Amino acid sequence: MTPYSLLTAFVCYLPVLPAALLCYAPFKNKLRFPKRIICEMMFLLFLILAPTVAFCKTHLFLGLNTPELPILIICYILFHITLDTHISKSLGIYVEVMALMAFMTNMSIFFDAYLYPASDLAHFSLEAALFRTVACTLLTGLLYYPFAHFGSYLIDNLNQSLIWNAFIVISGIFLFYNLSNAIQIYSTLHTNNVARAYLTNQIMFFALLLLLNVLFYFLVNSLLEKSRTDERNRILEMQEKHYLSQQKYLEETSRTRHDFRHALHTLQEMAEKGEHESVLNFLNCYIEKLPEKNTKDYSNNAAVNAVLNHYLRIADESGITVDQRIFLPENLYIESIDLCSVLGNLLENAITANLDLPRKERYISLVISPEQGSELYIAISNRFNGKVDYKGSRYLSTHKGGHGIGLISVTATAERYNGSADFYHRGHLFHSNVMMVNRKQSAS
């Protein structure tokens, strides 16, 4: 062990810093701790880990990639702990960044082989280590904005673990390809056209990985847009039905108001003649013919009214007893589409769960209330058959074709408004508590 080999081994781990920066870029809205604390933790980890591994590598004469796997696992565990997100998201981004950095590692090995043709990977040079650090830093500088801007959009909005798992597999294939294709004996590159073929393959696979990332973003973005469009159309359809019911009621009451003067004259004549029984009979008959309003005004928000009328009418037709306390603040800064999406998902789940019970046991409690000035709370409790299905800490639907996507969507919407969503059950009662901050959003 020499100071040169120890310095080389230490420099080999400098790329951990730009790699960590790139890993955190998409999670700017999902940090469990303040940025300053995370930076201090990561820097302290680096100061402990890098010299320790450098010493072990030089003392035990380990190759460049020998301790990579345990270090990658340790770093990922610490990385995930600092995030408030699902493991599929953190692992997807982590494997993706490691795959990109692995390309830079292989390019630095190629550079080392160019400088020292007779050497091998076990004697990785200081020049190549510095080249690797510079390459990883430049790559981070080029990709930081796309990761922070487009990556955070996917992290905040894409909540289907299945899609993220597919992303992990694709990135993992590229990572495995790079780790398994690291040149061990540099003289191999100087045989025939191996160097040209190796460099060409690295560039092509690197470009392919970037292209797949772009295609992944646009594909997922189109799916998210379609989902939002479907949600808007669903709410617009409810609003249309609500409007038509209101229109029908107005037309019927218009005819009633038109006939009201004639009814008054008839009642006056009967009263003057002392035909009190006829007056009572006429009034009873008239009251029975008065049109009944098919919609209710739960709030001063037309979209919310439409959704509540739609689902509470279904609940009434299904024999579900509904206790409700609904009060929306006068100034509502939460987008109607988002609020209606939360209410629609929760009420639909509550109604579906009740349908498994006898009619006399069906029950839903709905509370919508502003609290503490700028917080809007939605609390829904409903009876269900007591059967639950978990995946990790997440509830899954127990009905055919259901995956619990509605609750994931509710959670994502709540978090977008700096709020939270909590779901739990006690006995045969399922509780959904959602909080969203009702504050004017600053212009981005």
Range with lowest mean pLDDT among 201-215, 251-265, 311-325: 251-265
Q: What is the dihedral of CA 420, 394, 337, 345, to 10 degrees?
A: -120
**Is the pLDDT at 444 greater than 60, yes or no?**
no
260 band by pLDDT with thresholds 50, 70 and 90: low
CA 290 to chain centre: 49
Q: What is the mean pLDDT of the chain?
A: 82
Cα gap 101→144, rounded to integer Å? 13
Q: Would the pTM count as exceeding 0.85?
A: no
The CATH number of 302-437 is: 3.30.565.10
Secondary structure letter of residue 399 according to DSSP? S
pLDDT tens digits along 26-74 = 998 888 888 888 888 887 877 777 666 666 665 554 444 444 667 778 8
436 band by pLDDT with thresholds 50, 70 and 90: very high
Do the Cβ atoms of 23 and 99 come closer than 8 Å? no
- Tell me what pLDDT residue 402 has: 44
Question: Where does the chain hold its CATH 3.30.565.10 domain(s)?
Answer: 302-437
**Is the pLDDT at 285 greater than 80, yes or no?**
no
pLDDT tens digits along 188-209 = 888 888 889 999 999 999 999 9
Query: Element (H or E) spanning 325, and its range?
Result: strand 321-326
Helices (H) and strands (E) in the chain, counts: 13, 7
Give the bridge partners for 387, in sequence order.
none
- Tell me what pLDDT residue 377 has: 94
Rg (CA), the chain: 32
Locus of tokens 């599929």: 88
Higher per-residue pLDDT: 134 or 53:
134
CA 243 to chain centre: 33
Neighbour tally for 405: CB within 10 Å: 14
**Is the pLDDT at 250 greater than 60, yes or no?**
no
Cα gap 282→278, rounded to integer Å? 6
pLDDT tens digits along 370-383 = 887 789 999 999 99
Cα gap 295→245, rounded to integer Å? 7
**CA-based nearest residue to 438, from 327, 334, 301:** 334
3-class secondary-structure state, position 434: strand
**Position 179: which residue type?**
L
* Cα–Cα distance list, 134 to 96, 139, 186, 350 (Å): 19, 9, 21, 56
390 band by pLDDT with thresholds 50, 70 and 90: low
Do the Cβ atoms of 182 and 65 come closer than 8 Å? yes
Cα gap 432→434, rounded to integer Å? 7
Cα gap 14→233, rounded to integer Å? 51
What mean pLDDT is predicted for residues 154-159?
Answer: 85
310 band by pLDDT with thresholds 50, 70 and 90: confident
CA angle 92, 98, 103 (to 5 degrees): 130
Give the bridge partners for 369, in sequence order.
377
Do the Cβ atoms of 17 and 135 come closer than 8 Å? no
323 band by pLDDT with thresholds 50, 70 and 90: very high
